[in-house]
Copies of this chain bind each other. A is one copy, B any other.
């Protein structure tokens, strides 16, 4: 079994900008990129090491940054992705931001204010565990904002992301596409394993009842916000290992696409007397 190329991985997972997108046609258990699980593990491990190296170069350069946006239903594996894909990545130059329900201070501003504030520094990798897309997902499904305001947000989000990419931020957006069945299994697991119990929140069951509405909202968000500069990738997420392996390919691809190099210096040996 060979590892799929980065180009092939992108092609298989992208929601092509400007084309009709059908979330229901995406198999959450699709194994075609990594039929063999061990191959997925090997590929993940290799990519994780390369990601750490490239991150160090980006840190040294200090001019551009990478933003990885993770969205998905509860148990889809946002935390697991952070741990798995960045298992080799030292915390220097990493920023993980988990977006929770907005505080009163955040609600006092427009919904992108707190997001802009959390954009990674130059030279850093930022990971969004949930993101501004919540403002067209949970906010839409639960009716937390007027429909006409939400309707405006897709174009606002595209403009915001365009602004970021024009200012040196490479964006990788991954929708962790877990199946309804698999979510049921994972929620049950949380109730059974002592080190997972703390993650269980009865509110998750409320969202589970609204599954169809959430899928609708995802379908719309992905269709309208998969752009050339910041496309959406839809990751089959019923298998944790394969999910991590696929996302690692995308993250590595994004970093390689930046053509990073160790920064040149104006100095050379002999320029200074160290003393």
Contact = CB atoms under 8 A, between A and B. Distances in A.
A194 B86 contact: no
Contact of A269 (B192, B199, B202, B209): B192
A194 B261 CA distance: 10
A263 B198 contact: yes
Interface string A245-275: 0000000000000000011110111111011
B265 A91 contact: no
A156 interface: no
A82 interface: yes
Interface residues of A, number: 46
Interface in A80-129: 82-83, 86-87, 89-96, 127, 129
B267 A187 contact: no
Contact of A262 (B56, B198, B200): B198
A56 B79 CA distance: 11
A162 B184 CA distance: 46
B184 A274 contact: yes
B90 A93 contact: no
A155 interface: no
A195 interface: yes
Given A94-B96, A194-B262, A275-B205, A267 B200 contact: yes
A8 interface: no
A87 to B, nearest CB: 6
A263 B172 CA distance: 33
A145 interface: no
Interface of A: 56-57, 60-61, 79, 82-83, 86-87, 89-96, 127, 129, 184, 187-188, 191-192, 194-195, 197-200, 202, 205, 208-209, 262-265, 267-272, 274-275
Given A60-B198, A94-B94, A95-B95, 4 more contacts: A56-B195, A87-B90, A188-B269, A198-B263
19 contacts: A79-B92, A89-B91, A94-B96, A184-B275, A187-B272, A187-B274, A188-B269, A188-B274, A191-B267, A191-B269, A191-B270, A194-B262, A197-B263, A197-B265, A197-B267, A198-B263, A202-B272, A205-B275, A209-B275
